[in-house]
Amino acid sequence: MVLDYKDVVFSFQKKKMRRRRQRLKLALLALALASVFCGYRFLRVSAAVGKVQDLLLGGRAAEAGKKLAALAPSFFRSDPIRELQALSDLFADRLPQAQARFDELGREGATPSLRSGQFQKFFFDRGEYRKLQLYNAYLLPRGGDENIWFGALVQSAFLKGADSEKALARLSPAFRKNNDKALALLDRVNADLRLGRVNYVFDKNGLPLAYFDAHRQKTHPLLPGLDFADFDRQIKNGLSFFWLTLDTGLQMEIGHLFNEYSGALVLLDLPENGILAAYSKPRAPRAANAAFSESYEPGSIVKVISLLAYLRQPDQDVFPYDCPGRIALGNRVFYDGAAHKRVSDYASALAVSCNVSFAAMGLRTGSERLRGTLELFYFNAPPFDDGFLKFQTGACSKKLADDFELANLAVGLKEISLTTVHGAVLAAVFSQDGLLFPPYLIDDAKSILNLGYYSHRSRPRRVLTDDLNFRRCKKAIREVLAAGSDPGRRPLPAAAELAVKTGIAGDPQKGLDALAIGFFPFDKPRYAFAYRLEGAGKGGRGGEDFLRGLLAILQQIK
């Protein structure tokens, strides 16, 4: 068979064209698939970027950080992701790292594409001016009314009123019209900066307590007996306005009581322990605000806790007790101020402040139980926190060598110390049958536009639920004045309304201190207090006149 190809035409050129078309179709299909994939990934990353922003602005920084870590390797939207990483550093208080990231983005000419206005507002509304300053410096070269406005706020917050006013002059008329109220508030701050005086700390009634001298860059107090160095240090983080729990009139009256005394006093507003007065007048220059920071031997005022510890253990067979004025403990002698002879019960022991009786109660209680009870009352505890303020607590020995040291601990000598603010808290706990509210001084804090970013919230803690023994202790404390032996010279007016335990401690060579804790009125406690009068103890009037004056003030504000 012979094949005839004369009518068949072969074209290798057409075959190549067909193959090219097939490859082109495959390439276009692959490109389409890649585009769909990239578009999908882009949308996923964009959605994740939006979610991270929502989490940060919602105050869920930890959750945002985890989601951001998963985004970090992504090829898509790298600039917004890097900007979010810098913001995440800001939220985590890693300011140097955030600064480095923003600087790098700025050098590369990255274009901000996040909700920058919301983030700037977030930082400003919370008084976090340092964070706002870092972020705004990155955004400001891009211009825009919003960035210029936050830049002006930053300048005022850091006391650069002239620079703030220059920035405000660059705002558009439309922006100024829409934000006239905020601009008026900022103008007021800048006017104060021009004058060189900004009142920024106020009492509970709105009266100024301290102002910042913009020329000398220093805070000046307007209230005696209180140092505002902690607030002055806050100025470095930007200007804010603080409303405190203090009462100026009350502080001034207490100041008059200190005309003839040196020492410290803290008066708490029950039940939440807002500090109504905090007066420090140390005999020798020491740390600022001695009422909050200086510790000392508490003496007999700690006996209220020693009594509670004794009442909470099963063996209560110390009384009646014969006090000879001294007892031998090992190879040492433990002394009392007097031989009280027959002490019928624990209430009588507290009323006459019998050291030997309380030494016996301490020995019966044991060192572990006594120290454990003291630690329930925040001895050996961290300071009470109030924003950037700290109120120091007391301390007691964790290991006692012998019965002599245990006896000292039970009567508040040698092995224990407290601060005046801690003493006031102890009085407050007994007045509230074991409920403790950490003391606080800052009630509200506001930004330079008068927007509140901090408000105190009560955080009650239950020290003990032993209501029965608290009532027994309170009754014993009340009988101290009723017995007329503590502080002891003349009956106090309205003594039945006052629960107080006084004490004497310190260095005899320098003059013993007169100490007291208490609350008022007894039936429905409204105030708790503690004070220390340096050198006014034994050999002087024992602070009797001071206590009379304090009681008169408490009756007046009751």
Whether residue 486 has pLDDT greater than 60: no
DSSP state of 356: H
Does 277 lie in the same domain as 191? no
Task: Place 65 in a pLDDT band, splitting at 50, 70 and 90.
Answer: confident
Whether residue 48 has pLDDT greater than 70: yes
Whether residue 40 has pLDDT greater than 50: no
446 located within any domain: yes
In this prediction, residue 337 carries a pLDDT of 83
Mean per-residue pLDDT for 43-72? 79
**Domain count across the chain:** 2
3 located within any domain: no
Query: Given 177, 195, 213, which residue is the final one in a domain?
Result: 195
Task: Place 485 in a pLDDT band, splitting at 50, 70 and 90.
Answer: very low
247 located within any domain: no
In this prediction, residue 488 carries a pLDDT of 42
pLDDT digit string (tens) for 394-452?
999 999 989 999 999 999 999 999 999 999 999 999 999 999 999 999 999 999 999 99
Does 136 lie in the same domain as 57? yes
Task: Place 489 in a pLDDT band, splitting at 50, 70 and 90.
Answer: very low
150 located within any domain: yes
Mean per-residue pLDDT for 146-151? 96
Does 271 lie in the same domain as 182? no
3-state DSSP call for residue 24?
Answer: helix
In this prediction, residue 80 carries a pLDDT of 81
Mean per-residue pLDDT for 308-329? 92
3-state DSSP call for residue 126?
Answer: coil
Give the CA distances from residue 490 to residues 1, 542, 551, in Å, rounded to whole numbers and listed in that order: 148, 12, 14
Note every long-range contact of 455-460, with CB atoms under 8 Å and residues 24 or more positions apart, other chains counting.
456/274, 456/386, 458/272, 460/435, 460/436
Does 430 lie in the same domain as 549? yes
Q: Which of 180-189, 304-313, 476-485 has the lowest mean pLDDT?
A: 476-485
Q: Which of 75, 144, 85, 137 is nearest to 106 (CA)?
A: 137
For residues 133 and 221, give the distance between their C-alpha atoms in angstroms, rounded to a whole number: 28
pLDDT digit string (tens) for 68-81?
777 665 545 577 88
Percent of the chain whose predicted confidence (pLDDT) is above 70: 88
Helix then strand count (H, E) for the chain reads: 21, 22
Q: Which of 445, 367, 437 is nearest to 406 (CA)?
A: 367
Does 176 lie in the same domain as 269? no
Q: Which of 501, 495, 492 is nearest to 350 (CA)?
A: 501
- pTM as predicted: 0.87
Query: How far does Cα 153 stand from its chain's mean position?
Result: 26
Give the CA distances from residue 187 to residues 165, 166, 194, in Å, rounded to whole numbers and listed in that order: 8, 12, 10
- Structure token pair of residue 499: 């629960």
In this prediction, residue 12 carries a pLDDT of 58
Query: How far does Cα 42 stand from its chain's mean position?
Result: 45
Whether residue 360 contacts residue 306, with contact meaning beta carbons closer than 8 Å, is answered with: no
531 located within any domain: no
Does 302 lie in the same domain as 447? yes
pLDDT digit string (tens) for 250-300?
999 999 999 989 999 999 999 999 999 999 999 887 768 999 999 999 999
- Structure token pair of residue 408: 């000292």
Query: Given 141, 172, 195, which residue is the final one in a domain?
Result: 195
For residues 472 and 476, give the distance between their C-alpha atoms in angstroms, rounded to a whole number: 6
For 180, counting Cβ atoms within 10 Å of its Cβ (0-12 exposed, 13-18 middle, 19+ buried), the class is exposed
CATH for 423: 3.40.710.10
**Mean of per-residue pLDDT scores for the chain:** 88
In this prediction, residue 465 carries a pLDDT of 84
Does 298 lie in the same domain as 187? no
Percent of the chain whose predicted confidence (pLDDT) is above 90: 68
More confident residue, 68 or 358: 358
Burial 63-86 (b: 16+ CB within 10 A, else e): ebbebbeebeeeebbeebbbbbbb
Does 401 lie in the same domain as 494? yes
In this prediction, residue 542 carries a pLDDT of 58
Does 272 lie in the same domain as 177? no
32 located within any domain: no
Whether residue 240 has pLDDT greater than 50: yes
Domain of 161, in residue numbers: 52-195
- E-assigned strands of 238-323? 241-244, 263-269, 274-281, 295-296, 321-323
In this prediction, residue 145 carries a pLDDT of 95
pLDDT digit string (tens) for 191-219?
999 999 999 999 999 999 999 999 999 99
For residues 267 and 279, give the distance between their C-alpha atoms in angstroms, rounded to a whole number: 9
432 located within any domain: yes
Place of tokens 């800048």: 190
44 located within any domain: no
Q: Which of 207, 272, 276 is nearest to 558 (CA)?
A: 276
In this prediction, residue 210 carries a pLDDT of 97
pLDDT digit string (tens) for 365-385?
999 999 999 999 999 999 999
In this prediction, residue 90 carries a pLDDT of 93
In this prediction, residue 288 carries a pLDDT of 80
